[in-house]
Amino acid sequence: MRVRLVLSLLVVAAIGYAVKAKTTTPVVGSHIDSSDVSEDNDDGDRMISLDSLITKAKDILTTNPFKGLTRATKQPNLNDDQLVKVVEQPKPVNDQLEKADEIVDGQLEKDNEIIDDLLEKAYERLQLRGSDDELFERLNGLLWLEEADELAAKYHRSTYALVIDSLTKRLGDKRVAELIQTARKVSKTKAIAIKLKNAQMRYWLTSGTSATEVFGRLGMESAMYSLLTHPLFNYWCTYAKRYKVLDPNSSALKSLTTFFGEKGVSELLQYALQDTSSEELAKILQTEQITAWAKNGQSLEDVFNLLGLNRAGSKILEDPLLNVFTRFTSAFNAEHKFDLKTSGATKKHGVLEAVNYAPGTSLHPTEREKALFQLWFVKNEKPEDVFRSYLAKTGDNLLTSPLFTTFLKYTDTYSLNKRKDVSVYKIIRDDYKAGGAVLVNQILALKEVPNTPAKYAAERVEADIYRRLKDPQNPTSPDELFEFLRLHEVKEPAELFQDRMFEYWMECLDVFLKQPNAKHISRSYLATGYDEDALLLTIVEAEMNDKTKEIATKLKTELFKQYAFAEKAPADVLDLLKRNNIRTSQWSFFESYVNDYRRVTREISSSTAPRSHTGIYMN
C-alpha cells in the first residue's frame, strides 16, 4: 500500500517537473506514428518524455523508497516517521494528481493563446495565402515556418504540431491536407510535407477523430465514382490504417459504407475497376467487402437484394453490380466448402447439379449466369417465376434480349434436374404482356437473319409452339392459339386474309392436323366467333383468287369441322349453304360435315367424362 502511494506521489512530482514539456501530443499518438516506417516522423525531440520520468522514479524507489519520496515531494527536512505521516494523510493522492494537472493545463492554455496569437500575426505579416498551392515553397512560407520553429523551442513544443494546429484553425483540415499533398510532389519540400503529414495525422489521432469523421472533413463524399482517384484518397487511407491501431474494429471499408451504404460502395468500386489507376486498390477493397459478407453469414439472396439486383428486371445482365454478386457467389461457395461439381454438396445446399451447363441450348452459361442459376435454384424459382420477374414486360425485343437466352438455358437446366417438362411457349403465353402477335413478328423477323443467339431463341420458341400443337397427351388447341395471336380482335372475316397472324395461324393449323388426335380435339372459334354468312362468303370469294385459293380451301374444311364441334345441326348448315347460293359442287363439304357431326355427337353421347380443357373427349 505504502509503495503504491510513494509511486503516486512521484508521478505527481514528475508531472510538475514536466509542466514546461507537456504538449498536446499524448504517448498514443507517437506510438501509432512509429508503426508507419515508410516515412520519417517528427517525434518532437524538444519534448521531455513523461515515461522516462516515471521510469526514473521507479529506479529511485527500488533503492530507497522514502528517500525517493522525500526528493520527489521536495521535503528533505522530513525524517522517515514524518514522511509516513504525510503518506498516510487522509487526503487522496488522486486529489493531488488532479490539482497538479489543473495547474499544468492552465499554464498550457495560456501558452497556447500566446503561440496562436504570435503565429496568426506572423501569417498576416508575411501575407500568406491559403489558396496558394505552393505555400511551403515560397520564401514567406519558409519564414513563417522559421517563426513557428522558434516558438516551438521557446515553449517546448513540436514545430510541426504548432504549424498544423495554426493552419487547421485558419484553413480547415481539407485545405491543409491538399497543401501537404502538393508539397510532397516537390523534392525540396517533400521532407517538410512528410513531417506535416505525420503531424496532421497525430493531431487527428490525439483528438480521437475517427477515420469516418476525417473522411467527411476532407470532403471526399462528393467524389463518389472518382473517389479512388481523388488526390486525398490514399492520404485518407493512410490515416484509416493508423486509426485502426486505436480502434481495431474500424476500417476504411466501414467508413466508406457509412457514407455510401453497401450498394454505393459496391458501385464505386466496380466503377473504379475500369480505371487502371485505381483498379488494384478497388480489387483489394472489393475483396474485403465480399469476404466480410461471406464470413458474416450473408446469404445469396441477402447480397442480391442488398445490391438492388432484385429490382434490375430485364436489365440485370447489363448491371455492373452483377459482377460483384458473381464474385460473392464464389466466396460464398468457398466459405461453405460448396463445390458445384459435387452432387452431395448440391443436395445439401438445395442447388441443382446442372448449374454448370445447359445442354439444350448448346451455349455454355457464363460465370454470371451460373451465379444467377445458383440463386434461382436456392430460392426454388421455377422458370415461369424467372420469366415473370425479369422478362414479362420486355416488349417487342424479347427474343433479342440476352437475358432471354439466359432464361432458355435455365429452363433446360431446370427441366433436366427436376425431371419436369418445361414449355417455353406456355410460359410466354401466360405472362408475356406484349402478346402473341408481337412474339410471332419477332420470330418471323429473326428467321431472316444469320445465326445469332436471338435467331436461336426464335427457333426454340417456334419449335416449342409446334411441339405443343402436336403433343398427343396435352396439345395446344387451335382456338387457344387463335386467341394468343389476338385474332379474336379481328372483327370482320374479310380482314383475316390480310392479317399476317392469320396466315401464321393457318401454318400452325397444318402442324396441328398432323397429330393423331386432331379430329377428336374440340375447336369452334371460327364457327362461333363470326357472322356465319359473312365468313362463308369471304371464304368462297377467297377461293376465287389464285393468291388465296389454297388457304381459303383449307379454311373452309376447318370451318365445317368446327361446325361439327359446335354441334351445329345439319339442317342449319344446309340452310346456310342454300341461303348463300353455294353451288351444289360445293356440297361435298356438307356431306363431309354430316359425317363429322355424327361422329362428334356419337363421341359425346358415349363419353362418361367431360371434355378436357384441350377439347379432347375423354373416354
3-state secondary structure 290-358: HHHHHHCCCCHHHHHHHCCHHHCHHHHHHCCHHHHHHHHHHHHHHHCCCCCCCHHHHHHHCCCHHHHCC
Rounded Cα distance, 243 and 474, in Å = 69
pLDDT, average across residues 189-203: 95
How many other C-beta atoms can be found within 10 angstroms of the C-beta atom of residue 475? 21
Q: Decide if pLDDT at 351 tops 80.
A: no
Report pLDDT for 10.
46
Report pLDDT for 600.
81
pLDDT, average across residues 410-435: 91
Rounded Cα distance, 592 and 611, in Å = 23
| AA letter at 114 | I
| AA letter at 422 | V
Report pLDDT for 601.
81
Report pLDDT for 133.
85
How many Å from the N-terminal Cα to the C-terminal Cα in the chain?
105
State the pLDDT confidence band at 11, using cuts at 50, 70 and 90.
very low
pLDDT, average across residues 216-231: 91
Q: Decide if pLDDT at 128 tops 90.
A: no
Cell digits of residue 487: 385474332
Cell digits of residue 458: 426464335
Percentage of the chain lying above the pLDDT 70 cut:
76
Rounded Cα distance, 407 and 368, in Å = 13
Is 494 in contact with 512 (CB distance < 8 Å)? no
Q: Decide if pLDDT at 328 tops 80.
A: yes
| Least-confidence region, from 105-114, 176-185, 285-294, 355-364 | 355-364
How many other C-beta atoms can be found within 10 angstroms of the C-beta atom of residue 472? 10
Cell digits of residue 558: 376447318
Report pLDDT for 539.
87
pLDDT, average across residues 375-392: 94
Rounded Cα distance, 8 and 69, in Å = 10
Q: DSSP secondary-structure letter at 585?
A: G
Q: Which residue carries 389454297 as its cell?
A: 550
pLDDT, average across residues 98-112: 75
pLDDT, average across residues 551-571: 86
Average of per-residue pLDDT values in the chain: 80
Report pLDDT for 56.
46
Q: Decide if pLDDT at 271 tops 50.
A: yes
Report pLDDT for 418.
80
Q: Decide if pLDDT at 283 tops 90.
A: yes
Q: Decide if pLDDT at 440 tops 70.
A: yes
Q: Which residue carries 427457333 as its cell?
A: 459
Q: Decide if pLDDT at 371 tops 60.
A: yes
Strand partners, 521: 616
Is 57 in contact with 73 (CB distance < 8 Å)? no
| Least-confidence region, from 88-102, 417-431, 446-460 | 88-102
State the pLDDT confidence band at 561, using cuts at 50, 70 and 90.
confident
Residues, the chain: 619
Q: Decide if pLDDT at 162 tops 70.
A: yes
Rounded Cα distance, 194 and 314, in Å = 52
- Collapsing DSSP to helix, strand or coil, 64 comes out as coil
State the pLDDT confidence band at 89, using cuts at 50, 70 and 90.
low
Q: 490-509 pLDDT, tens per residue?
A: 989 989 989 999 999 999 99
Report pLDDT for 72.
40
Strand partners, 616: 521
Indicate the Cα dihedral angle 345, 346, 349, 354, nearest 10°: 160
Report pLDDT for 224.
85
State the pLDDT confidence band at 26, using cuts at 50, 70 and 90.
very low
pLDDT, average across residues 190-216: 95
Q: Decide if pLDDT at 461 tops 90.
A: yes
Rounded Cα distance, 471 and 468, in Å = 5
Please report, for residues 514, 599, 603, 612, 616, the alpha-carbon distance to residue 608 in angstroms, rounded to integers and kept in the order given: 27, 16, 10, 12, 13
Rounded Cα distance, 604 and 597, in Å = 11
State the pLDDT confidence band at 151, using cuts at 50, 70 and 90.
very high
Q: Which residue carries 518524455 as its cell?
A: 49
